[in-house]
Amino acid sequence: MKALVQRVTEARVEIDGAVSGRCGPGLMILVCAMQGDAEANADALAGRIAKLRIFRDDDGRMNRSLLDTGGGALVVSQFTLSADTSRGNRPGFSAAAPPDLGEHLYEHFVTALRAEGVTVETGRFGADMAVHLVNDGPVTIPIER
């Protein structure tokens, strides 16, 4: 699985003009299931992100995790993270998991992140969404598991 993790002061996702999910200080997580991924990949990714030390400590160093800060997470499915831009001008997305598996692994990732102790809100798999966020830092980190 692939994720793009952004440290945010706030984030929200809207579907048809209505807020579907939001978080205050914490993480905006865009996530994509790839061909060959399984629930173990989602579990490993959730554990890695929950413990990722990218929040400032008292000395201003990135030394605290989402669990340490008590922040929340907004998780949004993002199949375009699978983009292959190696040929031509139109990205290919064939490396993404098929939609049924992608949705299952997205939901499993959300459940696994909650099991780590993180408060999680979400978008809706496959929906056309408007994502609003204030990136803190900015800190944006790609992760693969």
Residue positions annotated with a catalytic role:
78-80
Give the CA distances from residue 3 to residues 12, 41, 80, 87, in Å, rounded to whole numbers and listed in that order. Answer: 17, 11, 11, 23
As a residue count, the chain comes to 145
Distance, CA of 22 to CA of 50 (rounded, Å):
17
Is the backbone peptide bond immediately before 99 cis, with ω within 30 degrees of 0? no
